[in-house]
Amino acid sequence: MKIYDARWAKKAEDKDNFRTLIPEPEQALLERSKAKKILDLGSGDGKTLVFLASKGYGLTGIDYSEVGVAKTNASLNENKLKARVVLADIYEPLPFKDGEFDAVISYQVINHDTIEKIRCLLHEVNRVLKKGGLFSVKVADASTYAFTYYDGLCYDEYGSIFQLIAPRTFLPIAGWERGVIHYEFNKEILTKELADAGFVLLDARHIECHLLANFEKR
Ligand SMILES: C[S@@+](CC[C@H](N)C(=O)[O-])C[C@H]1O[C@@H](n2cnc3c(N)ncnc32)[C@H](O)[C@@H]1O
């Protein structure tokens, strides 16, 4: 059972800490870009996917949480909406065609593995996007929150205890995200990694402890 299955099985009020619907500036960006086909990478329980499908976009979601995918499909049915939701690991080659999407959104997802795996994923995102397509991405930015270090372990202000397993790479050994790797980006690193994968930065801003950045495929 994936750790996020337990999270997506919870009631809305218990699972919405730290996440928001796609923010308004990104909704406007999608509208301006005239995107039709959008991939939600790590679509979770479908909160944003269902919202965007209700606006008339063609949505595809991908997530490895069975509960998340089931909740997304249930919510689509409830709202009489259609979208494709794929149960798969995003760090494997993405099961989509080259240039299949006008935009890819990914909120609080891509930083959940080692930097080597993340680099492969970013190249895959580039492959499935059309030239000039938007990649809107939100990641945790550790520079915005407080850690204390004790006895080789690292404690954050939200009750998680981490082991450092590689540079900027933390493995929570306690707390609700136990076992889910966190690679800690900051704006410079995210911009460089995305540039190496063929993207240009449009804009970036912090939202609480996260960094939200919009890129365009060159
Ligand atoms: C913090 S949640 C964010 C969900 C959604 N994007 C949102 O903003 O509500 C992270 C999501 O990434 C998914 N995820 C993490 N690692 C994954 C992987 N290797 N393959 C597919 N999905 C993954 C989890 O199952 C979870 O649904």
Please indicate whether residue 133 or residue 6 has the higher confidence score (pLDDT). 133
Indicate if the pLDDT at residue 12 is higher than 90.
no
Cα of 132 from ligand 1 centre, angstroms: 25
Which pair of tokens denotes residue 121? 């994923």
Beta strands at 58-63 and 84-87: parallel, antiparallel or unpaired: parallel
80, 50 Cβ separation under 8 angstroms: no
| pLDDT tens-place string over residues 61-101 | 999 999 999 999 999 999 999 999 999 999 999 999 999 99
Query: From the alpha carbon of 40, which atom of ligand 1 is closest?
Result: 6
User: What pLDDT score does 147 carry?
Assistant: 73
Cα of 29 from ligand 1 centre, angstroms: 23
Indicate if the pLDDT at residue 154 is higher than 90.
no
Q: Where does ligand 1 bind, in terms of residues with CB under 6 Å?
A: 2, 4, 19, 42-44, 47-48, 63-65, 68, 89-91, 107-109, 112
Indicate if the pLDDT at residue 127 is higher than 90.
yes
How is 156-174 classified by DSSP, letter by letter? ETTS-EEEEEETTEEEEEE
- The stretches of the chain forming alpha helices (DSSP H) are 3-8, 12-15, 24-33, 47-54, 66-78, 115-128, 187-196
- Considering only CA atoms, which of 62, 91, 66 is closest in space to residue 6? 66
Where residue 149 falls among pLDDT bands split at 50, 70, 90? confident
CA count, 13 A, side-chain hemisphere, 143: 7
What is the helix (H) or strand (E) element at residue 23, kind and residue range?
Answer: none
Q: What distances in angstroms separate CA 170 from CA 152, 173, 181, 205, one per listed residue?
A: 12, 9, 6, 23
Indicate if the pLDDT at residue 190 is higher than 80.
yes
Q: Kindly list the domain boundaries of the chain, sorted by start residue.
A: 3-141+185-217, 143-184
Query: From the alpha carbon of 4, which atom of ligand 1 is closest?
Result: 25
Cα of 152 from ligand 1 centre, angstroms: 28
- Considering only CA atoms, which of 8, 29, 15 is closest in space to residue 204? 29
In sequence order, the β-bridge partners of residue 167 are: none
In sign, the C-alpha dihedral spanning 125, 131, 137, 143 is: positive
User: What pLDDT score does 17 carry?
Assistant: 57
What is the mean pLDDT of the segment spanning 35-45?
A: 97
- Pocket of ligand 1, candidates 63, 86, 91: which has the most ligand atoms within 8 Å of its Cβ, to mutate? 63
Q: pLDDT averaged over the chain?
A: 91
How far apart are alpha carbons 175 and 157 in whole angstroms? 11
Please indicate whether residue 172 or residue 119 has the higher confidence score (pLDDT). 119
Query: From the alpha carbon of 41, which atom of ligand 1 is closest?
Result: 6
The three-state secondary structure class of 24 is helix
- Considering only CA atoms, which of 206, 185, 181 is closest in space to residue 142? 185
Which pair of tokens denotes residue 2? 């994936």
Query: From the alpha carbon of 20, which atom of ligand 1 is closest?
Result: 8
Amino acid identity, residue 32? R
Q: Which fold has domain 3-141+185-217?
A: Rossmann fold (3.40.50)
- Pocket of ligand 1, candidates 112, 116, 210: which has the most ligand atoms within 8 Å of its Cβ, to mutate? 112
| pLDDT tens-place string over residues 50-69 | 999 999 999 999 999 999 99
Please indicate whether residue 47 or residue 3 has the higher confidence score (pLDDT). 47
Q: What distances in angstroms separate CA 149 from CA 3, 125, 185, one per listed residue?
A: 25, 35, 19
What is the mean pLDDT of the segment spanning 152-180?
A: 85
Query: From the alpha carbon of 47, which atom of ligand 1 is closest?
Result: 9
| pLDDT tens-place string over residues 111-124 | 999 999 999 999 99
